Every structure is written in C-alpha cells, then in structure tokens.
Amino acid sequence: MAKAIEFISVCKDFNGKGIVHDLNLSIEKGNLVTLIGPSGCGKTTTLKMINRLIEPTSGTISVHGVDISRIDPVELRREIGYVIQQIGLFPHLTIEENISLVPRMKGQRKDVCVKRAYELLDVMGMDPAVFASRYPKELSGGQQQRVGVARALAADPEIILMDEPFSALDPISREQLQDEIAKLQAELQKTIVFVTHDMDEALKIADQIVLMQHGKIIQQDVPEQILRHPKNDFVRQFVGEKRFAQAATRATIEDAIVQAVTVRPHRGIAECIQLMRTRRVNGLIVTDRSGRYLGVVDAMRVLGSFADEGATAATVMDASVPVIQPGTDVAPVIALLQADGHGFLPVVDGEERLLGAVTRGSVLKLMTPTGGEVHEDAAMASV
C-alpha cells in the first residue's frame, strides 16, 4: 500500500531539549493511525510537524512522496484537514460559513461550498435546515466538535490530523463522535493521524497504534497485536495487561453473579414478552415456587410460540441450558458462555436453587474492573 506520510530520522529540539528523537514512521494511505503515550512523549509535536505548524530540527517528512520542506506551509495546510480539542470555530461566522471557509479560500464557487457544507452537516447528524445558519455559541460542545470535523472534511483532503479532538467532551458525546469517526473512516478511507492519551479510544478507532515514550516510538502495530504481544513493561502497563492479569488471578465466578429476571412456569407467553420488554432482557429464568431452577425462556422461543394461547413458560423453556456452581473457575464459564446462544448462564446452589446468573457482560466487567458500566445485567424480578 502507498505511503501517505513518512518520517525519516526526524528530530525536534526545543531550547536545546530533545522532544522527538530519530523518529522513523510510515503511515499508509487510508489508515487511521493513533499516536498515543503519556503527557510530554512527543505525540502532539509529531502531529504538528506533518502540517508544518512545528518545523523539525533535522530529518525529512514526506507527504505522498514529496518532502514537505519544499511545499509552501499555507498551501500544505489547505490540503490537510485539522481538528483540535479547542475546535477553533470562528464565532462571527455561521456554521455553514465555518465549514465552507477552506473551500472558499481555494476559490470554489459559493453555491458549491454551501452544498458541500449542507452535505457534511447531514453526514454529522445535524439537520442543515436547523444548524447551517446558527453561530458556534448556539451549539453544545459535542455539536461544535462535529462541525470541526465537518470543516476538516470540507475541502475533501486526503490527510486529516486530529489532536485530542474529543478529550474535553462528556463521555456520551465522546463515544458518539468516536463512532462517527470510525463510520466515516470506513466510508471515506482518509488517512487520519489521531493523537490521544486514552488507550480505550485508540483501541476503538485505530487501524494502527503508535505508542510513544520520551520522544521515541516504543511499539507500532495493529491493536490486536499490541494487546496480545506488548513489547515491554511500559507497553503492558499502558494497555492494562497487568490489570487484566491481576483481575483474572483474583477473579472468582461469585464476583460475576448478577440478579436474574425470573418467571414462574405457569405464566403465559404474553406475560413473558411483557416482562422481557419492560425489563429490557432477551431471556428469562424459570423457577418454581421454592426458587429451584427449571429452565430458560428466550425471546425466540417465546415469539415462536406466541400463536399458541395455551403455551406457558414451562412448555417453551429450554431445560438443557448448562448451570454453574458458585465455585466454578472463570475459564470454563467463559467457554460455556461462548458456546451457549442465550448470553447468560444460571447459577445454582447444591439444591438447584437459583442464586442469580452470569452474563457475558458481567464476566467482561469482572475481567476489566476499571471498565465502564455493563448494561445487559438485570435486576431480580418475579411474576
């Protein structure tokens, strides 16, 4: 694949202090590459050298095979999209004018620029009829950042640079924009260099991850290989392998048990559907009056029997679903969850009384204890 960006023996010093040391890096056309590392590792400096906002002290940087030192910096920047954390929208321009700015500076007709701005607003999930004539101060932070991305795309650049663009946003807006970037990249196949300090963000969006420390590249690879084969202790610590290993060592299946949504065997199919709908689950555990486990009712079994008004939870349940004991090791439970199509397993005591359930989400949360909330687990209910 063709190289979009190449660093050859690049160094950068500030006031005699080395920030980037002998950097050699090739970024292939159409890839989304994240530069990640602790504060002061040189990732933002590396990014800004691509569009000559910072000039290297030595070495060569090429874009599409051309040494950028031979390109006028202003012309270079007009050919490269740029998105920053502070967004940088012009407050006195409308949203449409902000997005259209670079195409207009490049001499495109006004009607073409307006059309492009409307198209990009639509792509970013912002109704042009509502947002095009507004001003930046009238938008939320997440909306402003979407406009920033749209502006970077307006001139249809081959390369886009993104410097921690989502770090100041709330978690929900940040996740939404990460999804948008991943979706756009799949559709447009731009070359994107994305600076972040968040490994979860890098793993989610990147084709390649470049992990830096003290101005040097420590490891460059696809996310899967960095997770599976970290080069040294620094990489292991940064990606969290130690945390995962420690969690696995300490983990017992008791810590992954969540409350289950249960149903009595005599309840009808319509009642099962209503319970699954209101509790937002795709399966119920059938128990008798004393709380003994009987079987599992999933959505497909319920829907398949809906026409039978005499059907009950007992007549449609699957009694072959494997059950586990509280003392079971985590590894075999993971294997059972992978093999079972329901996504959860009942946990019972020695007398087959239901203690709860383990789900794919609860086991994942157990193995990654600093991870986010798991939404598939449900509270105990009984009808």
What percent of the chain stands above pLDDT 70? Answer: 91
Least confident window among 10-19, 43-52, 248-257, 306-315: 248-257
Per-residue pLDDT band at 370 (split at 50, 70, 90):
very low
What sign has the CA pseudo-torsion 311, 313, 314, 315?
positive
Quickly tell me which residue has 């101005």 as its tokens. 215
Per-residue pLDDT band at 337 (split at 50, 70, 90):
confident
Q: Which fold has domain 254-367?
A: CBS-domain (3.10.580)
Can you tell me whether residue 317 is helix, strand or coil?
A: coil
Query: d(Cα 135, Cα 237) in Å, to the nearest integer?
Result: 43
Is the pLDDT at 248 greater than 60? The verdict is no
- 127 membership: H or E segment, kind and range: none
Query: d(Cα 228, Cα 198) in Å, to the nearest integer?
Result: 18
CB atoms within 10 A of CB 341: 10
* Of 203 and 240, the one with more pLDDT: 203
Q: Which whole number is the average pLDDT over 44-62? A: 96
pLDDT at 381: 42
pLDDT at 368: 60
Task: Judge whether 360 and 337 are in contact, CB under 8 Å.
Answer: yes
Least confident window among 91-100, 143-152, 244-253, 270-279: 244-253
* Of 241 and 19, the one with more pLDDT: 19
Is the pLDDT at 274 greater than 90? The verdict is no
pLDDT at 7: 97
Torsion of CA 54, 57, 62, 63, to 10 degrees: 0
CATH for 3-239, options being 2.10.60.10, 3.90.1150.10, 3.40.50.300, 3.40.50.720: 3.40.50.300
pLDDT digits (tens, 9 = 90+) for 125-162: 889 999 999 999 999 888 888 898 888 888 888 999 99
Per-residue pLDDT band at 1 (split at 50, 70, 90):
low
Question: What mean pLDDT, rounded, does the chain reach?
Answer: 85
CB atoms within 10 A of CB 264: 16
Torsion of CA 28, 32, 37, 38, to 10 degrees: 140
Is the pLDDT at 251 greater than 60? The verdict is no
CATH 3.40.50.300 residue ranges for the chain: 3-239
pLDDT at 244: 54
pLDDT at 256: 81
Q: Which whole number is the average pLDDT over 178-184? A: 84
Query: d(Cα 188, Cα 186) in Å, to the nearest integer?
Result: 6
Task: Judge whether 347 and 356 are in contact, CB under 8 Å.
Answer: yes
Per-residue pLDDT band at 97 (split at 50, 70, 90):
very high
Stated pTM of the model: 0.64
pLDDT at 142: 85
Q: Which whole number is the average pLDDT over 282-302? A: 87
Is the pLDDT at 250 greater than 60? The verdict is no
Query: d(Cα 146, Cα 123) in Å, to the nearest integer?
Result: 10
* Of 42 and 298, the one with more pLDDT: 42
Query: d(Cα 173, Cα 88) in Å, to the nearest integer?
Result: 18
β 58-63/3-14 pair status: antiparallel
Q: Which whole number is the average pLDDT over 20-32? A: 95
Q: Which whole number is the average pLDDT over 267-296? A: 87
pLDDT at 376: 43
Is the pLDDT at 365 greater than 80? The verdict is no
Is the pLDDT at 375 greater than 50? The verdict is no
CATH 3.10.580.10 residue ranges for the chain: 254-367
Is the pLDDT at 302 greater than 70? The verdict is yes
Task: Judge whether 221 and 35 are in contact, CB under 8 Å.
Answer: no
* Of 182 and 331, the one with more pLDDT: 182
pLDDT at 272: 85
Query: d(Cα 218, Cα 205) in Å, to the nearest integer?
Result: 20
